[in-house]
Amino acid sequence: GDSVTQMEGPVTLSEEAFLTINCTYTATGYPSLFWYVQYPGEGLQLLLKATKADDKGSNKGFEATYRKETTSFHLEKGSVQVSDSAVYFCALSEGGGADGLTFGKGTHLIIQP
Amino acid sequence: DVKVTQSSRYLVKRTGEKVFLECVQDMDHENMFWYRQDPGLGLRLIYFSYDVKMKEKGDIPEGYSVSREKKERFSLILESASTNQTSMYLCASSSETGALNTEAFFGQGTRLTVV
């Protein structure tokens, strides 16, 4: 079945550092890929998405590129802020939305001032 | 603002109790989902529904049931709560069955503790 693998952390960085959170996936077809973010005490919010190979999703300074050849969707940000501290989930959807998302285990990101 | 609302943020229940977790969405979405979130395990799909009165098992349905009598409401039922069901429960909804880029909208979660 489908699966998503991501680094679990916690990942601790200083403010203004460069961020990469790796995500790789296994899927039988051609999934859509997502990054969700969960701030403390809240539910998940969509951060960005990509629906086909070589698509780049971007939002709030974060970017991720759908790489079919390496089955990856790594999340990057050039300069992180304390407010980026959260848990980040990589996810895929292959069943046309109705079957739900398959999530990675989440990466806890801590940004220190 | 689009919204998925879960009826409780925190619940404490006793072992053996029947527990209802309620979720309402105001986006006229066809699809609704229940996940549980546990440290080190991420989110796991319990049940989902793609239409009123329809339900499908997810990855971990044992010990749970669901009800979808109206399009906007999706209830998760723990028939006899056990301590291993202590968890964060997240409801989500999405539209357009068949659309591959469907975004899911999440509620704020219900942290359930079974004692």
Averaged confidence pLDDT in chain B: 91
Report the residue from A34, A43, A100 with minimal CB separation from B109.
A43
pLDDT of residue A88: 97
Chain A residues with CB under 8 Å of B66 CB are none
Residues pairing with B105 in the sheet: B93
Which of A27-31, B12-16, B90-94 shows the lowest per-residue confidence on average (mean pLDDT)?
A27-31
**A8 Ramachandran zone, left/alpha/beta (phi>0; psi -120 to 50):** alpha
CB A98 within 8 A of CB B92: no
How distant is the alpha carbon of residue A82 from its chain centre?
A: 18
pLDDT at residue B107 above 90? yes
Cα A91 to Cα A103: distance, rounded to the nearest angstrom = 4
Where is average pLDDT lowest: A98-112, B22-36, B74-88? A98-112
What's the pLDDT band for B46 if we cut at 50, 70, 90? Answer: very high
Nearest CA in chain B to A6: B42
Asked if residue A101 has pLDDT above 90, the reply is no
Compare CB distances from B103 to A8, A46, A94 and report the shortest one's residue. A46
CA dist., res. B56 & res. B33, Å (int): 10
What is the per-residue pLDDT for A45? 92
Indicate the pLDDT class of residue B85, thresholds 50, 70 and 90: very high
CA distance B51 to A37: 27
Test A89 with B50 for CB contact under 8 angstroms: no
pLDDT at B99: 52
pLDDT (mean) for A6-19: 93
Say if CB A37 and CB A44 are below 8 A apart: yes
Contact A44 B99 (CB under 8 A): no
To the nearest whole Å, the CA of A80 is away from the closest chain B CA by 23
